[in-house]
């Protein structure tokens, strides 16, 4: 179901179950009123494509009942398809920072991608890649950090630095070079 379509057409009963059961129970709380804050199953009924991502090897532990959709999304917000109601893009990072405080802290040398938002590199629901990255290995970095190949030599340069050997050794961070991908308090040349 399209997010915008579902937002406009969803009523209370879409998530909380039939109101008639609530009335029959005399208005009391309990098993008659479904609370998506306790169980993400109500969300998964409509958001099946997101449900599928929680079955990928690397995912937030929603199906394991260690997290819930409402931990990141406000179902009563203006735009519930965006974390914390989607009132501003900064809320996406704010939502992630609730749990990922170390990655979201202030750095002396900031990686510009952090200004773009966490989802520039990570899928917030699940991924086949480690750390829920949206692409594998150096392909993720090369999305923004363009490479230049010099004719004849075959050398790969990123910026002014040669990278042929390190690109063969692994990804930008697994080669042991750019390990501080979120930001750093030290030399900015080696962090990302």
- Tens of pLDDT along the chain (192 residues)? 444 444 445 788 888 888 887 778 777 666 667 777 788 888 898 889 999 999 999 999 999 999 988 888 877 766 555 555 543 445 667 788 888 988 888 888 888 778 788 888 999 999 999 999 999 877 888 888 776 666 667 777 777 777 777 777 666 766 667 778 888 887 666 555
CA atoms within 13 A on the CB side of 115: 4
The pLDDT score that the predictor gives to residue 142 is 81
Quote the pLDDT of residue 58.
97
SS3 113: helix
Q: Report residue 12 CA to chain centroid gap.
A: 27
- The pLDDT of residue 45 is 87
Q: Where are the domains of the chain?
A: 3-134
Task: Say if strands 183-184 and 109-110 run parallel, antiparallel, or are unpaired.
Answer: antiparallel
Per DSSP, the three-state class of 47 is coil
pLDDT of residue 191: 59
Supply the pLDDT for residue 114. Answer: 80
Rounded CA gap, 114 and 108, in Å?
Answer: 13
pLDDT, position 172: 74
Classify 9 as helix, strand or coil: helix
Phi, psi of 170 (to 5 degrees): 150, -165
Residue 175 has what DSSP assignment?
Answer: T
| Residue 25 in tokens | 């129970």
Sign, CA dihedral 152-173-105-128, equals: positive
Task: Output the pLDDT for position 15.
Answer: 84
Verdict on whether the full-model pTM lies above 0.95: no
pLDDT score, position 91: 64
Q: What pLDDT does residue 89 have? A: 47
């Amino acid at each position: 179901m399209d997010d915008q379509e579902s937002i406009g057409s969803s009523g209370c009963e879409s998530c909380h179950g039939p109101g008639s059961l609530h009335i029959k129970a005399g208005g009391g709380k309990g098993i008659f009123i479904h609370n998506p804050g306790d169980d993400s199953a109500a969300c998964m009924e409509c958001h099946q494509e997101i449900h599928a991502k929680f079955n990928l090897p690397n995912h937030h532990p929603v199906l394991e009942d260690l997290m819930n959709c409402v931990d990141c999304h406000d179902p009563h917000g203006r735009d519930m398809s965006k974390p914390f109601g989607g009132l501003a893009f900064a809320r996406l990072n704010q939502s992630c920072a609730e749990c990922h405080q170390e990655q979201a802290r202030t750095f002396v040398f900031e990686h510009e991608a952090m200004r773009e938002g966490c989802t520039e590199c990570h899928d917030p629901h699940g991924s086949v890649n480690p750390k829920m990255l949206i692409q594998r290995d150096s392909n993720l970095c090369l999305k923004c950090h363009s490479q230049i190949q010099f004719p004849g030599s075959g050398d790969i340069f990123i910026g002014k630095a040669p990278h042929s050997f390190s690109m063969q050794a692994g990804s930008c961070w697994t080669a042991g070079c750019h390990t501080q991908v979120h930001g750093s308090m030290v030399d900015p040349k080696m962090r990302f």
